[in-house]
Chains A and B, each alone.
Chain A
Amino acid sequence: MKELIAKAKELLMNKEVDLLIGYQSAGEKKAKPLLIKNPDDADKLVFNEYCLSNLVTYLNRPDIKALSKVAVVAKGCDIRAIVVLLSENQLVREKIFIIGMTCDHVMSPDGTEENIKCSYCKVRNPHLADVVIGAPIDERISKETVVRHEDIEEFNKKTKEEKWNFWKEELSQCIRCYACRQVCPLCYCERCIVDFNNPQWIDTRSNPRGNFAWNIVRALHLSGRCIDCGECERVCPANIPLMLLNRSLQEEAKDKFDWEAGFDPEAQPPLTTFRKEDDEEFIR
């Protein structure tokens, strides 16, 4: 913590950055984002296993994008979002200062157990950072390991009808608050398709048609891009298991394109590129 606070003070004092985004305590076993411009506020910074928020999402906010340089405290899983944003030309590398935190795990949103995403994390040590804070941590699995999710395997055993009924019930609870979109570091469209009203592409009513359309569009726009931070599911005020959709699509991307988003900033994402030797006729 000392090292983090010292680095934050240095960056803000020397005016190397205009804004620093980190975590502060929000009571026992809770942390929340802290956005500071004044070096004196750096003493409020904390980093612990309750630091769940993916702060990278703030880098997309128009008022923050307009600043000349911003520092962000990021765990390896969060940095994966930065990698995707860089490869999609949404961030200018020189305009962000990444304070990478080594991290063994964070807790589940209810604070009772290790977060499920940490069990298959491959980036306990930040893979892209301007400074790394914290002692190196042994990775539990190698970069090459192909991760299979038990919940998806279970889900795929269901019949079509069971799946339909499951999602019908879950999505009927969506209140269309768009917390999933707003918190997602990769939902950066200046105008989301659901906000178009002439024509109205997506039904904005919170009815079955509207809710299916919205949630499918959201998930599909993240296919091959989602970095598994789990923020959408964590913030959902209706407790909809959105990661079930996202993780299914991650597995598709792995199977079809041998692709996992957010590890290599130089690599071309499969859905934004094409190769002459592609198997599919239509794309050549």
Chain B
Amino acid sequence: MAEQYIDYDKAKEMLGNLTKNSEIEVFGPVKKGNDTFISKLNQNSELSFDYFITVNSIKEALLPRFEPILKYRINHNGVTLEDLPPVKPLVVFGGRPCDASSLPLMKKLFNWDFKDEFYLERLKKVIIITIACDEMDENCFCTSVGGSPRNETGSDVLLERVCSTGWKAKAISEKGKNFLKENSNFFNAKLTPEKGYPKIAEKDIPVVFDSKKIKTWIENNFESPLWEEFGANCLSCAACTFVCPTCHCFDITDDASMWKGVRTKNWDACTLPYFTKHASGHNPRSQSYQRYRQRISHKYSYYIDLFGQVSCTGCGRCSRVCEAGVNILDILKRIDKEATKGGK
């Protein structure tokens, strides 16, 4: 097939068209203030394509902030379970390669000891249209965790910028191929690739730490006083974990009245003070640095033990969103340095 291009106008038209179909859910980049967010689109959404990276990740499309997992009614015959709304096909447009590469990681987890039918069903039905990176900032470090600005992992379609108003499309998966075929009337823009695009290459984002060394250091240094330093500024909110493409913890709550109820899966975060509070009153992670240690250790040590991969895509969102100035890259570089110095 000939090369396929799409420009801003056609992308807007395509997403607008998809949004009209109530049988699918569409997520795309929407501007708010100075920032861009991946949001669920409706007819009034104002799309924006001139952004470096969205504040949030595409996680929300596949793992909603809250999601009913059980509904019931009680009457004099007993308890009846009610049907849950069916998972609709999804289109997620505008994430970066550091978003999409989280999906195979998350799949391992949600396919592990318990099959999370909600996540897996969405994953089956989603089309991930990723826009390769054309910019970077001091918080980016995808290459240190095996990614790159044009990494294809997890995407169905990868768009690469060829000029200031459009992209060249590349199908990565079968799903992606079909999507391009079905929407070929939008992927037929006549664009002339301009000089100077793409603006960044893989070598622009240097590898700055060795994740193997970091894992070993974490294993040997649970009690290191450095953790206190790393977590010193942390105020224990969940902003970092909620914008993270790979943080996936959730809490289950029940909302019940006399005759009906709904059980819901809600985002939760290891950085919040009450995450590990026991019924006894004891909290094994009572201090903020202990909670922050958990966040880093989970991504760079425990997840590797379980699934053979670092659970971080190097997007840097946690650092950008942290107004207390906790910077994951600074911390990982410091651990790398310590590990090199200490030899273990």
Interface of A with B (CB < 8 Å)?
Answer: 24, 26-27, 32-33, 35, 53, 57-58, 61-63, 110, 173, 175-179, 181-183, 191, 195, 197, 200, 203-207, 210, 231, 234-235, 237-239
A128 CB → nearest B CB, Å: 23
Closest to B269 in A: A177
> Contact: B253 with A179, CB < 8 Å?
no
Q: Which residues of B sit under 8 angstroms from A204, Cβ to Cβ?
A: 251, 253, 266
Given contacts A62-B286, A183-B237, A205-B264, contact A237 B253 (CB under 8 A): no
Given contacts A33-B325, A179-B323, A207-B66, contact A239 B32 (CB under 8 A): yes
Interface assignment of B287: CB less than 8 Å from any CB of chain A: yes
> Contact: A237 with B255, CB < 8 Å?
no
Interface assignment of B131: CB less than 8 Å from any CB of chain A: no
Alpha-carbon distance A26/B137, docked complex (angstroms): 14
Provide a sorted-by-A list of 27 A–B residue pairs whose CB atoms are within 8 angstroms. A24-B325, A53-B324, A53-B325, A61-B235, A62-B286, A63-B288, A173-B32, A177-B237, A179-B235, A179-B239, A182-B235, A183-B324, A195-B273, A195-B274, A197-B253, A203-B255, A205-B253, A206-B266, A210-B66, A235-B237, A235-B323, A237-B56, A237-B242, A237-B243, A238-B37, A238-B55, A239-B32
> Contact: A61 with B288, CB < 8 Å?
yes
Q: Which residues of A sit under 8 angstroms from B239, Cβ to Cβ?
A: 177, 179, 235, 237
Interface of B is mostly: loop
Given contacts A110-B34, A235-B323, contact A177 B238 (CB under 8 A): yes
Tally A-B pairs: CB < 8 A: 95
The residue among A35, A58, A197, A205 with the most chain B CB atoms within 10 A of its own CB is A205
- CB < 8 Å neighbour of A178 from B32, B35, B238: B238
Given contacts A27-B138, A206-B266, contact A234 B237 (CB under 8 A): no
Interface size on B, residues (CB 8 A): 38
Closest to B253 in A: A204
Given contacts A57-B235, A63-B287, A181-B237, contact A33 B324 (CB under 8 A): yes
B290 CB → nearest A CB, Å: 10
> Contact: A175 with B251, CB < 8 Å?
no
A38 CB → nearest B CB, Å: 11
Interface assignment of B151: CB less than 8 Å from any CB of chain A: no
Question: Digit string of B266-299 for contact with A (CB within 8 Å is 1, else 0)?
Answer: 1101001110000000000011100000000000
Alpha-carbon distance A179/B35, docked complex (angstroms): 17
Q: Which residues of B sit under 8 angstroms from A178, Cβ to Cβ?
A: 237-238, 272
Q: Which residues of A sit under 8 angstroms from B66, Cβ to Cβ?
A: 205-207, 210
The residue among B32, B39, B56, B323 with the most chain A CB atoms within 10 A of its own CB is B323
Given contacts A33-B233, A200-B255, 20 further A-B contacts (CB under 8 A): A53-B324, A57-B235, A173-B37, A176-B266, A177-B238, A179-B239, A183-B323, A195-B273, A203-B255, A204-B251, A204-B253, A205-B253, A206-B65, A234-B323, A235-B237, A235-B239, A235-B323, A237-B239, A237-B242, A237-B243
